[in-house]
Amino acid sequence: MDLGISNRKAIVNGGSAGLGRGSVLALAREGAQLYVSARGEERLVRACEDIARETGASITPVVADHSTDEGRSRILAACPEPDILVGTCSPPPFTGDYTKVSNDDWLANLEVTLLSPVQFMKAVIPGMVERGWGRVVNIGTGAAKFPAQVRILSGPPRAALVNYSVAVAKAVAPHNVMVNNVLPGMHHTATIHDTYTAQAEANGTTYDEEIQKFIDEWKIPANRFGDPDDLGAFVALFCSEQAAFVTGQSLVIDGGLTNATF
């Protein structure tokens, strides 16, 4: 299916690995012109080159920390008038005891998970409104909708971002600018790989065994973790022409882990 976004300019922040990379791949397959940011140059350049080689898309890597003013300026200098904005970041660490989360932990995390996407939306949405076309997709976490103590550094700021996004979505929808959120559960990302590989080494098990322990403990109905490329396809759909009547929505993709009628 043609999503109608060939040659649309797209910024993907945090796009060198995991869910961001899956989104870059999906948009590249649709022919979008991509500007992909991440802090680590080597992994970013490698990801962009690999995806460009596979898809033939135009992909420009931008080495920058999107949580800083300097990083945002560098990204927007590379692509000052994007049609599409997709934002994600490496998730904050799991937390065991909420009382052990310090003020410094909160402040450092809020810059990445809440303030940066808000600043990007403020910077690019007015231009989208003026041009009469735009798509924004924030990749958050299922914990924004279904709180859990282990994701307490991730869920609350992303819940605030969802609230902000829906408020903005209502204001700009008349101008064909659609703002939506994707709220993932557990996926096979680089962070998950590193976390559970270390856990396996400590326990004398394997990565797959540690993943299955989590699946069994949390009773994930799909009996597996998600694939970042599959999630990227949903991001691309939210960025499509066909998404012109879908805005202010938050899609949970977690293999059935959380329970809600709506």
Average pLDDT of the chain to the nearest whole number? 94
Q: Give per-residue pLDDT as tens, 84-104.
A: 999 987 777 777 788 888 888
Structure confidence at residue 153 (pLDDT): 85
pLDDT one-digit tens code per residue, 52-84 = 999 999 999 999 999 999 999 999 999 999 999
Nearest C-alpha neighbor of 178 from the set 104, 248, 86: 248
d(CA 24, CA 31): 11
pLDDT at position 121, please? 97
Q: Residue 199: its pLDDT value, please?
A: 94
**What is the structure's pLDDT at 259?**
80
Q: What is the pLDDT of residue 99?
A: 86
Cα distances (angstroms) measured from residue 172 to each of 3, 71, 135, 249: 21, 26, 11, 14
Over residues 143-157, the pLDDT tens digits come to 888 888 888 888 889
> pLDDT band at residue 1, thresholds of 50, 70 and 90?
confident
pLDDT for the residue 59: 98
What's the pLDDT at 56? 98
Tens of pLDDT, residue by residue over 205-254, are: 999 999 999 999 999 999 999 999 999 999 999 999 999 999 999 999 99
pTM score, two decimals?
A: 0.94
Which of the pair, 129 or 93, is modelled with greater confidence?
A: 129
**Average pLDDT of the segment spanning 12-32:** 97
Domains recognised in the chain with CATH numbers: 9-187+230-251 (3.40.50.720), 188-225 (no CATH)
User: For residue 260, what pLDDT is reported?
Assistant: 76
Residue burial 56-72, b: 16+ Cβ < 10 Å; e: rest: ebebebbbbbbbeeebb
Q: HEC states along 173-226?
A: HHHCEEEEEEEECCECCHHHHHHHHHHHHHHCCCHHHHHHHHHHHHCCCCCCCE
Percent of residues, the chain, with pLDDT higher than 70: 100
